[in-house]
Amino acid sequence: MMNNIMKLSRVANTFARSSHLPASRLLTTSTSNSVNKLRSAVEDYRMKNYSEELPSRCKKEIIDAADFQRDGHITIDGILTIVTNIGAGKKVLREDIERIMSELGEKSHENRTIDAETMLQIL
């Protein structure tokens, strides 16, 4: 039984590293699905609009546009605005963004936010 738990832990840590998420954070299935929806939406947008650019440029521009206060912290509304602007409002729902923020966001701010660097890792 203990060996199975250790194996599952290793698989989860490998998934977290391969997903470019902080290895110390293991996500619930629903949040993992939400992250994948967001990544897929951004990738679709990138392929249509930034196909001649490096993927990181598109992602950084999306993050910059979502950082309304220019303080390195992105709000739920910032992400929702970007999702809507890239045409993925029906694919990535507010509930998806709230799940991501709940597990990966920062609780220290008045409104739940996510650090721009963490958001870049997610995308």
Residues paired with residue 106 on neighbouring β-strands, in sequence order: 113
Percent of the chain with pLDDT over 70: 77
- How much of the chain, in percent, has pLDDT values that exceed 90? 46
Neighbours of 88 (CB within 10 A): 18
83-95 mean pLDDT: 94
Strand-pair partners of 73: 115
Does residue 109 carry a pLDDT above 90? no
**How many Cβ atoms are within 10 Å of 57's Cβ, its own excluded?**
12
pLDDT confidence band for 64 (50 / 70 / 90): very high
pTM (predicted TM-score): 0.74
Long-range contacts made by residues 95-103, C-beta under 8 angstroms, separation at least 24? 95/34, 96/33, 96/34, 96/37, 96/38, 97/34, 97/38, 99/28, 99/30, 99/31, 99/34, 100/31, 100/34, 100/35, 100/38, 101/76, 102/31, 103/25, 103/27, 103/28, 103/31
Output phi, psi for 78, to 5 deg.
-60, -45
Residues 4-12: what's their mean pLDDT? 48
Taking only the tens place, the pLDDT of each residue in 9-41 is 454 544 444 455 554 468 889 999 999 999 999
| Confidence category of residue 82, pLDDT binned at 50, 70, 90 | very high
pLDDT at residue 1, as a whole number: 52
